[in-house]
Amino acid sequence: MNSQKTIDEEELRIPRDDPSEWISSGSVERSTVLFIWSSAPAETLAASRSVYRALQAQRQLQPELRLLCFDLHEQRSKLSKVLETYKVGAVPTVLAFPAHAHQPSDRVEGVYPARVGALVEQLVHNSAAADTKTVRQRVEKMISEHPILLFMKGTPERPRCGFSQQIVQLLVGDLKLPRASLATFDVLTDEQVRQEVKAYSQWPTFPQLYVRGELIGGLDVCREMAQSGELAALLASATRDEHGTTGP
C-alpha cells in the first residue's frame, strides 16, 4: 500500500536535533532518550536506522516521551561535551534520562533493538510510577508538548479502526506530513486517558487531531480542511515550529 510505503520511508529519516539546547539545560524536565547515531559510513547508518525503528515504535506508544537524535557524522563539533560527559564510546548509542536527572539511568550501545525497547519501557514505567499528576494533567501535557498529536485507536502502523487508518492515510499519505512529526496516542491502551480526552475536548469519538494545542477535529473535519488547503497550511506551520525553522 502507498500509505505503508510512505510511513516506512519517513521512519528511516532520522532527525538531527540541536545539541546546544540539551547541553545548556543541565537536567531534563521529563523522561528523555538521547540517540547518538551517524549518517556515515553506510553500515553505521544502517545500524542506526535499525535502532531508530525500535525507538519510534516505543515513542508511538508513549508520545509524552522526549526523543533527541544527534548525528555524530554531521554534528561532531557540537557533540564533544555530550560524548565526554556521558562516556559515549560507540555508535549507535541510546541513553535514558529520567525526569530531573543529570546522568543517564541506563544505556544501550550497538544494534540491539529489543534491548532498546526494554530500556524505553522501563524508563516510562519508572516515570509513571513516580508521576503524581492527574489524568487531566497528563492529557494537557501531551497536547502542549507535541505540535501535532493524534489520539487514535491503535497505531499508525497498526490502526484498530477504519477511521484511524483513514486519518493516518490523509495526514501522512495524502498531505505528506513527515511520519516523525506525527505524535500519536493509542486510546485503547489507557481507558482513563481515553475518557479524559473525550471530556477535555468535548468530542465523543476518535480519532482526534490536535495541532499546536488546539483541537482540529475528527476525520470528517480534517477531510474538509484538507480539501480547502487549510489543514496542509496548519501542519506545515506546526512542523516548522517543531524544528525551529522559518520560511514560506
Which tens digit of pLDDT belongs to each residue from 167-217?
Answer: 999 999 999 999 999 999 999 988 889 999 999 999 999 999 999 999 999
If asked whether residues 8 and 121 sit together in one domain, one would say yes
- Domain housing 29: 2-130
If asked whether residues 141 and 121 sit together in one domain, one would say no
Of all residues in the chain, what percent carry a pLDDT higher than 70? 88
If asked whether residues 6 and 121 sit together in one domain, one would say yes
Which pLDDT value is given to residue 247?
A: 41
- For residues 128 and 38, give the distance between their C-alpha atoms in angstroms, rounded to a whole number: 31
Of all residues in the chain, what percent carry a pLDDT higher than 90? 67
pLDDT-derived band at 76 (thresholds 50, 70, 90) equals very high
pLDDT at 144 over 90: yes
pLDDT-derived band at 45 (thresholds 50, 70, 90) equals very high
* Three cell numbers, residue 52: 531508530
If asked whether residues 47 and 92 sit together in one domain, one would say yes
If asked whether residues 82 and 187 sit together in one domain, one would say no
Which pLDDT value is given to residue 124?
A: 84
If asked whether residues 162 and 74 sit together in one domain, one would say no
pLDDT at 23 over 80: no
Please say whether the beta carbons of 38 and 96 come within 8 A: no
* Three cell numbers, residue 97: 534520562
User: Could you say which DSSP state residue 172 is in?
Assistant: I
For the residues 103-127, what does the mean pLDDT come to?
A: 90
> Which of 130, 164, 198 is the endpoint of a domain?
130
**204 located within any domain:** yes
Across the chain, where does the E strand assignment appear?
32-37, 66-71, 93-97, 106-109, 148-152, 183-186, 208-211, 214-217
pLDDT-derived band at 232 (thresholds 50, 70, 90) equals very high
CATH number at residue 85: 3.40.30.10
**48 located within any domain:** yes
> Which of 104, 130, 156 is the endpoint of a domain?
130
**68 located within any domain:** yes
Say what the pTM is. Answer: 0.51
- For residues 27 and 103, give the distance between their C-alpha atoms in angstroms, rounded to a whole number: 8
If asked whether residues 122 and 146 sit together in one domain, one would say no
Instruction: Give backbone dihedrals phi and psi of 154, rounded to 5 degrees, phi first.
Output: 90, -160
If asked whether residues 15 and 69 sit together in one domain, one would say yes
Neighbouring CB atoms inside 10 A of 207's CB total: 25
> Which of 95, 130, 165 is the endpoint of a domain?
130
If asked whether residues 94 and 157 sit together in one domain, one would say no
**119 located within any domain:** yes
Which pLDDT value is given to residue 192?
A: 82
If asked whether residues 161 and 238 sit together in one domain, one would say yes
Number of structural domains, the chain?
2
Weakest-pLDDT range from 73-87, 89-103, 144-158, 230-244: 230-244
If asked whether residues 76 and 157 sit together in one domain, one would say no
Which pLDDT value is given to residue 7?
A: 42
**18 located within any domain:** yes
3-state secondary structure of 186: strand
Please say whether the beta carbons of 86 and 72 come within 8 A: no
If asked whether residues 120 and 149 sit together in one domain, one would say no
- For residues 143 and 45, give the distance between their C-alpha atoms in angstroms, rounded to a whole number: 32
Q: For residues 227 and 136, which has the higher predicted lDDT (pLDDT)?
A: 227
Please say whether the beta carbons of 236 and 171 come within 8 A: no
**118 located within any domain:** yes
**248 located within any domain:** no
Which pLDDT value is given to residue 242?
A: 63
